[in-house]
Amino acid sequence: MCDISTGCYTTLYKYLNYSTQLINNTIRDELLHIYWEEINELKNQSKIPILLIIIIILIFLIMIIFGIISSSLIIYIILRKYSMRTRGNLFILNLAISDLTLCLITQPFNLIRLLNGNYNWILGQFLCKFSSMFQGTNIFVSTFSITAIAIDRFQCIIYPTTHRGNINTAIKLNYLTWIIAIILASPLVYFSHITQLNHLQCTEKADNLTIQKLKVIYSLAALIIQYMTPLFIFT
Instruction: Tell me: do 91 and 68 sit in the same domain.
Output: yes
Query: Do 10 and 56 lie in a common domain?
Result: no
Q: What is the pLDDT along the chain (235 residues), one digit of tens a residue?
A: 444 444 554 555 555 555 545 445 555 556 555 655 655 555 555 566 788 888 988 999 999 999 999 999 999 999 998 888 888 899 999 999 999 999 999 999 888 887 766 567 888 888 888 988 999 999 999 999 999 999 888 888 887 776 666 888 899 999 999 999 999 999 998 888 887 766 777 887 777 778 888 888 998 999 999 888 888 887 7
For 4, which DSSP code? S
Establish if 157 belongs to a structural domain. yes
Distance, CA of 224 to CA of 83 (rounded, Å): 36
Q: What is the pLDDT of residue 3?
A: 47
Question: What's the confidence (pLDDT) of residue 41?
Answer: 56
SS3 assignment, position 14: helix
**Same domain membership, residue 58 and residue 35:** no
> Do both 14 and 116 map to the same domain?
no
Looking at residue 220, its amino acid is: L
208 with 102, same domain: the answer is yes
Note whether 57 and 39 are same-domain residues.
no
Domain assignment present for residue 168? The answer is: yes
Print the domain residue range for 172: 50-234
Residue 150 shares a structural domain with residue 207: yes
Q: What pLDDT is attached to residue 47? A: 64
**Is 114 found in the same domain as 32?**
no
CA–CA separation, 144 vs 6, rounded Å?
42
In angstroms, the Cα distances linking 63 to 96, 174, 175, 180 are: 14, 25, 27, 27
DSSP of 200-214: EEEEE---SHHHHHH
| pTM confidence score | 0.74
